[in-house]
Structure 1
């Protein structure tokens, strides 16, 4: 529906299918997964992670958002380990020959890896309470 200069989509899946956005998501997600693999995080089962993304349009869509809002190049293993521990993400951390490594145990836990990469964790300035802000909108700097 078009209203006041905006397109309002009621069924995201049908809209994406109608305009072939799904193909775009899967293509772009491959590029972003290449960036993750080349980045500072050591994901031991990257091939499995790729498979879980390439078989799920929602995960592929969310991975595509990393190019806009993610922190792929800024997130190092030390910070990632801290975030995984503090927010109880279901990712395994082991010490390998090259240092710390992240393993994504299964397809459901791929969401936790996406949350880690998408910078979905916030701390309240009022009471230091921690939140997961999945799908949160970024505020422009003041």
Structure 2
């Protein structure tokens, strides 16, 4: 039997195996990259924290089948729910609750057991506007 017909395997990886591994690692890396904004934007971080806070209240509303009321303190730029609170990006200068203009020192809005909320629009002193989408129950920056 000729020597060249026998295949001698050294136990290493083939080129195809290495290529497949690199493709899988590459896909994972590019999937992860958008979530690795290490420098970060303070407003986006605040928006994420506010949305996480609102999500907790929404989850509680759905699980307990009871309406949850959150309070927005305009002057101090704070969102309160039960005994917890989180900071908004600044002082609220104007806004709307269910298309009605906001006034006073603050306002209550509700998240309902069905998983939706009142519509809230907040304009901050620096001009940033947050809008609470009643169906997705999350703030979006406009």
Give the TM-score band, short-chain normalised: under 0.3
Higher strand residue share: 2
Decide which structure has the larger Cα Rg and report it. 2
Specify which structure has the higher proportion of helix.
Answer: 1
- TM-score, length basis structure 1: 0.26
